[in-house]
Chains A and B, each alone.
Chain A
Amino acid sequence: MQRRTFMKTTGALGVSAMLARPGSAVALIPAESSAPDTWMQDVVEEARRLGAAQADALSLSHRHQSIQVRKDVVHGISDTEEDGITLRVRVGMALGSASVPAARRGSPKDLARRAVEMARATPPSIREGSIALDGELHPDVHVMNTDANGVDTRRWSTAGVTDPFLVPLDERIAFLRDLNATALRIPQIPYAVSNQFLQMRTTTHVDSRGGRFTQQQYASYVNFAVTAYSAQRKLMDTRTSEREAQSTDWTGATASMRSELETAMQEVLQLQRADPVTPDHYDIVVHPTLLWNILFETLLPHFDPRQLTGLDGRLPGDRWITLAQRGRLPLSSPALRLRWDNTLRGGLASSGWDDTGVAAAVHPLLDGSGAIGRIPRSLDLLLSDPVYGLGFPGMTFSRAPAWNLPPTVAMPNVVLEGGPGKNLDALIAGVDDGLFVKGRGTVVTNPGKTLFRVRPQVAWKIRGGKIVEMVREVEIETSTEQFWNALVEVGRGEDTFLGGDLFPRRAFPLWETPFSVATPPALFRSIPTYRAEARA
């Protein structure tokens, strides 16, 4: 088609589209344009009419925007917004699901028919034991909180948070530019970069048992990195901000950013003058800005539900922790007490309910006795989940990774329980000869996540219970088992820091929905420590 022809044709079509009306040849407006809530109710009822024993519909709207400013230049802005509806049905003992974009949802009958077709083409494979005699799913699998009339019309949103997208774009860019400009005023800091990530996730759930709720979650994450260079010593060091992604708004994400920048600038300049660490086994106090990341990268992958149940597609025999050893894990530190917590304020996985209507809950993961408390599970894992065969207690938590995917098992927030009242100074006071390390560093692991290496951003020597000097080039290399068994004391709960990854898909196993990891500071005994540069 020649350009002029196309312009002529499309121009005409464009005009006709603007005037689109029912029955016209160009129907840009979907045939069914009822309000989404009503439409979702209709699609659930239609699925029931078509033979579904159960049905639930989830509408998910997701917006993401990221900005990067390098020095004073906007390097990139990405902006995506998508929304759609997924209907999940159970027909007999088989599940099926189908998704449509919200803007093209069409008739409820079409989506219902498609989802039921999917279930009918799936062999019946939900385990018998997971279905109660009355045909409803086991209460532990699917619990709706309904009111006295059996209808739930609840709403939930991130507490005390305003929509960060309402802050004008130029205002947010100006903030990032200002952070960089502040750092670049120091001659020894030639490079600064700052980023902003905003996310909004809005869901509405309607199910065939009268359940209905709407949730809105925001995540805001502002970070920076400042790089110092010493021409004299030919050293380059980088220090990043400490605050991690949280379920918060623009004000919450930026509140401490300027003071963090001041600290980072001082520390990176101090680091340039520091001497390298002497390799040895040290008692180490780990600041929570680093500890959450070590927990996230080294220990939590072993508690991923798919990995525990052998459904992750990895080589058999390649798993350090299996369900068979759930009562006698190779983790013996009584201080290692972890809990799942989807009620955590600011947590990226915190919500009123999961995407299937199960209320947010708190459950033990590890209680210090070397036994697993509960692990996350979901309806789709019922198909093959050996957890059920073992009668092992689970914690239902499902989230949809995207608008066009059904809810599936997800990682809840994880909290390392605080100890009996020691603050950071008191933990340091308990070390005679050791290190204090902080700042998220790159954690390098072997494929099995049983060995790891991490370089903290900054480290100080501790002598006689006091911090005496900064040291550089600290690298911790040990096994996951040795490291966590060396945990002797966790700081007080009040000093808990909220870490978390907004893009956990980078990790392995593939965690597709964000969750937070909260830790206080902690003391580890006799950790092998090396000098990074010397080992390179």
Chain B
Amino acid sequence: MMTRHDAETILSIAVQSPGADELFVSLTETEITTRSVAGQHPHPLHHSSGLTLAITARVGTRYGRVSGNVYEQADIRALVARAATLAAQMPETTEVLPFPGAIDVAEAATYFPDDGGAMWEESWRGITSLREDPTTASCLAFGSIASTSTVRALASSNGLFVYQPSSLGHAQFRCYTEDGRSTGFAERFRPDRTVLAPRDVLRDAVDTCLRWRGAKEIKPGRITTIFSPRALADMLQPMLRQFSTRAIADDQSFLRRLDGSSFLGSTLFDTRVTLRSDPYDARVPSLPFTADGEPVTARHWVSAGVIAQLVTDRYEAAAVNRPVVAPPSNLIIDVADPVADLIADTEYGLLLHGFANLNILDPKNCLLTGSTRDGLFLIEKGRIVGPVRNLILRETPVYLFKELQAFGMPEVVSPTGSYFPMLLPPMKVKDVMYSQPSSLI
């Protein structure tokens, strides 16, 4: 792993190179070990170490950007020169803002040095037991396990320098029954790779796959639903992007009023809803600066149902003379009184584990649509009675937070397929809208 000192050395060479009026340089060093699994067969382990320098040069009112994995002084300077050459060919821009200068950012606790080496043996044992167990031998498992260490550092010719090491373990598996009539999926991200437990992730995927066999069709409509934390994360990700002054100005946010102003300060959600972010929260540590070099600080986005904060980017902030508010790099829902068992008092409802896809139908109210997937179960009289065929959800997370009935115990999750650490509870919401059946397996 590159030390702060080495990162400073490389970046200083870059930002002091001649040929541009201003320079902004991003350095990413990655050490990654990966194994993929296809049809229960583990592929060879591969280890890769990489380094990428991305250089943005401003020449007058023109910008040029290049990237390369160079390391030596002459190569770094050549890369800067190439960025300046490209800048000279680009059209002039009217929005010229100086690159950020020095900021005071403490390192977040995103790096755990133990690379979790035991996970490889453990994952192999998990796959072997899958093959040897007669109840799971016919399941086909596909997926991957990765152990990553990353250093991100940014610098500008205006004095910016930030450095953040991080680590991440990632395991994801999809399972199918041999006849292709049932599937299950599970995924886990953990900065502390010693607690990734890929074998458990594989087991979760297999369990969901086996439990969903023989799913029956039910009628779509408005149905009380318990969202798993991962399903909730998938729905919140597009909503978070709408907490932005630019999105509101572009009429791409549910937070825009008819007169063009925002709902900042208004109560839009149930008073039990508080959304906040904090890169220094030890449960979900995250990057304390953005890719643009802005500090990410602890913020409340929704406070007891009231819209409390909006992202304001550098250009927007300069235009309206307000401070920059960086977007969050994690998300936390604190729950004062979690309900231990959300299923127990559910008369009729669904337990929803995830989605195949979610698309925004209408950004003005953050209306989402997509098929459920990877475990949809019917609840009757306080217990799960069996799997049901997938449905097309047509709902907005705004509604979920207005009509929530109860929260469960929060757990660490991330939206499917991408790492954005969240501490979210399972959530029960009444009358969630399902517009039609889905034929998806």
CB pair B33–A118 under 8 Å, yes or no, is: yes
The complex places the Cα of A318 from the Cα of B180 at a distance, in Å, of 8
Can you show 24 pairs from A to B with CB atoms below 8 A apart? A3-B159, A5-B102, A6-B160, A10-B161, A26-B6, A74-B90, A75-B91, A77-B64, A77-B86, A79-B82, A80-B68, A81-B68, A94-B44, A97-B44, A99-B46, A100-B49, A104-B49, A118-B33, A123-B124, A313-B38, A313-B142, A317-B180, A380-B44, A383-B44
The complex places the Cα of A368 from the Cα of B179 at a distance, in Å, of 31
Our pick among B42, B45, B104 for the contact of A118 (Cβ within 8 Å) is B45
Which residues does chain A contribute within 8 Å of B50, judged by CB atoms?
84, 99, 101, 404
- A17 is an interface residue with CB less than 8 A from chain B: yes
- B358 is an interface residue with CB less than 8 A from chain A: no
The complex places the Cα of A315 from the Cα of B158 at a distance, in Å, of 53
Which residues does chain B contribute within 8 Å of A121, judged by CB atoms?
45, 117, 120-121
- B51 is an interface residue with CB less than 8 A from chain A: yes
- A327 is an interface residue with CB less than 8 A from chain B: no
Shortest Cβ distance from B120 into A: residue: A121
- A198 is an interface residue with CB less than 8 A from chain B: no
Shortest Cβ distance from A26 into B: residue: B9
The complex places the Cα of A101 from the Cα of B65 at a distance, in Å, of 21
Which residues does chain A contribute within 8 Å of B82, judged by CB atoms?
79
The complex places the Cα of A93 from the Cα of B35 at a distance, in Å, of 17
- B60 is an interface residue with CB less than 8 A from chain A: no
- A311 is an interface residue with CB less than 8 A from chain B: yes
- A73 is an interface residue with CB less than 8 A from chain B: yes
Shortest Cβ distance from A7 into B: residue: B159
Shortest Cβ distance from B161 into A: residue: A6
Chain B residues 68 to 90 lying within 8 A of chain A, measured CB to CB, are: 68-73, 75, 79, 82, 85-86, 89-90
Pairs of residues from A and B, 6 with the lowest C-beta to C-beta distance, nearest first: A3-B159, A10-B12, A384-B41, A3-B102, A317-B180, A103-B71
Shortest Cβ distance from A9 into B: residue: B8
Shortest Cβ distance from A102 into B: residue: B69
What's the nearest-Cβ distance from chain B to residue A219, in Å?
A: 19
- A389 is an interface residue with CB less than 8 A from chain B: no
- B140 is an interface residue with CB less than 8 A from chain A: yes
CB pair A3–B158 under 8 Å, yes or no, is: yes
Chain B residues 331 to 374 lying within 8 A of chain A, measured CB to CB, are: none
Interface residue tally for chain A (C-beta within 8 Å): 71
- A169 is an interface residue with CB less than 8 A from chain B: yes
The complex places the Cα of A30 from the Cα of B11 at a distance, in Å, of 17
Hey, what's the 0/1 contact readout for B294-338 against A, CB within 8 Å counting as 1?
000000000000000000000000000000000000000000000
Which residues does chain A contribute within 8 Å of B85, judged by CB atoms?
169
CB pair B155–A10 under 8 Å, yes or no, is: yes
The complex places the Cα of A318 from the Cα of B155 at a distance, in Å, of 49
What's the nearest-Cβ distance from chain B to residue A204, in Å?
A: 17
CB pair A14–B16 under 8 Å, yes or no, is: yes
Our pick among B35, B41, B52, B86 for the contact of A79 (Cβ within 8 Å) is B86
CB pair B72–A122 under 8 Å, yes or no, is: no
CB pair B161–A119 under 8 Å, yes or no, is: no
- A4 is an interface residue with CB less than 8 A from chain B: yes
- B21 is an interface residue with CB less than 8 A from chain A: no
Our pick among B12, B142, B178 for the contact of A11 (Cβ within 8 Å) is B12
CB pair A315–B180 under 8 Å, yes or no, is: yes
- A278 is an interface residue with CB less than 8 A from chain B: no
What's the nearest-Cβ distance from chain A to residue B174, in Å?
A: 6
Our pick among B33, B73, B121 for the contact of A28 (Cβ within 8 Å) is B73
CB pair A101–B33 under 8 Å, yes or no, is: no
Hey, what's the 0/1 contact readout for A170-211 against B, CB within 8 Å counting as 1?
100100000000000000000000000000000000000000
Shortest Cβ distance from A77 into B: residue: B86
The complex places the Cα of A109 from the Cα of B35 at a distance, in Å, of 23
Shortest Cβ distance from B16 into A: residue: A14
What's the nearest-Cβ distance from chain A to residue B128, in Å?
A: 8
The complex places the Cα of A29 from the Cα of B10 at a distance, in Å, of 11
- A144 is an interface residue with CB less than 8 A from chain B: no
Of the listed residues A10, A98, A103, the one surrounded by the most CB atoms of chain B closer than 10 A to its CB is: A10
Shortest Cβ distance from B78 into A: residue: A81
Of the listed residues B47, B68, B89, B179, the one surrounded by the most CB atoms of chain A closer than 10 A to its CB is: B47
Shortest Cβ distance from A99 into B: residue: B48
Given contacts A14-B16, A316-B179, contact A96 B66 (CB under 8 A): no
Shortest Cβ distance from A72 into B: residue: B91
CB pair B49–A1 under 8 Å, yes or no, is: no
Given contacts A97-B47, A99-B46, A103-B69, contact A14 B12 (CB under 8 A): yes
Q: What residues of chain A have their CB less than 8 Å away from a CB belonging to chain B? A: 1-7, 9-11, 13-14, 16-18, 20, 26, 28-30, 73-75, 77-84, 86, 94-104, 114-115, 117-119, 121-123, 125, 169-170, 173, 306, 310-313, 315-318, 380, 383-384, 403-406
CB pair B45–A317 under 8 Å, yes or no, is: no
Shortest Cβ distance from A319 into B: residue: B180
Our pick among A11, A30, A74, A82 for the contact of B91 (Cβ within 8 Å) is A74
The complex places the Cα of A29 from the Cα of B13 at a distance, in Å, of 13
The complex places the Cα of A277 from the Cα of B326 at a distance, in Å, of 54
What's the nearest-Cβ distance from chain A to residue B92, in Å?
A: 10
The complex places the Cα of A123 from the Cα of B43 at a distance, in Å, of 9
CB pair A169–B72 under 8 Å, yes or no, is: no
CB pair B179–A17 under 8 Å, yes or no, is: no
CB pair A13–B86 under 8 Å, yes or no, is: no
CB pair A101–B71 under 8 Å, yes or no, is: yes
What's the nearest-Cβ distance from chain B to residue A34, in Å?
A: 15
Q: A1-B161, A81-B70, A102-B69 are in contact. List 12 more A-B contacts (CB 8 A).
A: A13-B5, A17-B73, A28-B13, A79-B65, A99-B46, A118-B47, A123-B42, A123-B128, A311-B38, A316-B178, A380-B44, A406-B46
Our pick among B8, B40, B67, B101 for the contact of A80 (Cβ within 8 Å) is B67
Which residues does chain B contribute within 8 Å of A3, judged by CB atoms?
101-102, 158-160
Which residues does chain B contribute within 8 Å of A101, judged by CB atoms?
49-51, 69, 71
CB pair B49–A18 under 8 Å, yes or no, is: no
Which residues does chain B contribute within 8 Å of A82, judged by CB atoms?
52, 67-69
Which residues does chain A contribute within 8 Å of B43, judged by CB atoms?
380, 383
The complex places the Cα of A10 from the Cα of B8 at a distance, in Å, of 6
Shortest Cβ distance from A168 into B: residue: B85
CB pair B15–A10 under 8 Å, yes or no, is: yes
The complex places the Cα of A173 from the Cα of B174 at a distance, in Å, of 47
CB pair B9–A13 under 8 Å, yes or no, is: yes
- B280 is an interface residue with CB less than 8 A from chain A: no
The complex places the Cα of A43 from the Cα of B85 at a distance, in Å, of 37
Given contacts A10-B161, A17-B9, A94-B44, contact A311 B71 (CB under 8 A): no
- B176 is an interface residue with CB less than 8 A from chain A: yes
What's the nearest-Cβ distance from chain A to residue B106, in Å?
A: 11
CB pair A84–B89 under 8 Å, yes or no, is: no
- B406 is an interface residue with CB less than 8 A from chain A: no
The complex places the Cα of A114 from the Cα of B31 at a distance, in Å, of 12
Which residues does chain A contribute within 8 Å of B8, judged by CB atoms?
6, 9-10, 13
The complex places the Cα of A274 from the Cα of B176 at a distance, in Å, of 51
- B441 is an interface residue with CB less than 8 A from chain A: yes
Which residues does chain A contribute within 8 Å of B91, judged by CB atoms?
73-75
What's the nearest-Cβ distance from chain A to residue B404, in Å?
A: 34
CB pair A4–B159 under 8 Å, yes or no, is: yes
CB pair A122–B42 under 8 Å, yes or no, is: yes
What's the nearest-Cβ distance from chain A to residue B37, in Å?
A: 9
Given contacts A13-B9, A28-B72, A316-B176, contact A1 B44 (CB under 8 A): no
- B39 is an interface residue with CB less than 8 A from chain A: yes
Of the listed residues B49, B117, B124, the one surrounded by the most CB atoms of chain A closer than 10 A to its CB is: B49
The complex places the Cα of A28 from the Cα of B10 at a distance, in Å, of 8
Given contacts A28-B71, A79-B86, A101-B51, contact A14 B13 (CB under 8 A): yes
Which residues does chain B contribute within 8 Å of A406, judged by CB atoms?
44, 46
Chain B residues 124 to 139 lying within 8 A of chain A, measured CB to CB, are: 124, 128
The complex places the Cα of A242 from the Cα of B432 at a distance, in Å, of 50
- B183 is an interface residue with CB less than 8 A from chain A: yes
CB pair A29–B72 under 8 Å, yes or no, is: yes
CB pair A96–B180 under 8 Å, yes or no, is: no
Our pick among B16, B39, B71 for the contact of A384 (Cβ within 8 Å) is B39
Our pick among A30, A77, A318, A405 for the contact of B46 (Cβ within 8 Å) is A405
Hey, what's the 0/1 contact readout for B154-178 against A, CB within 8 Å counting as 1?
0100111100000000000010111
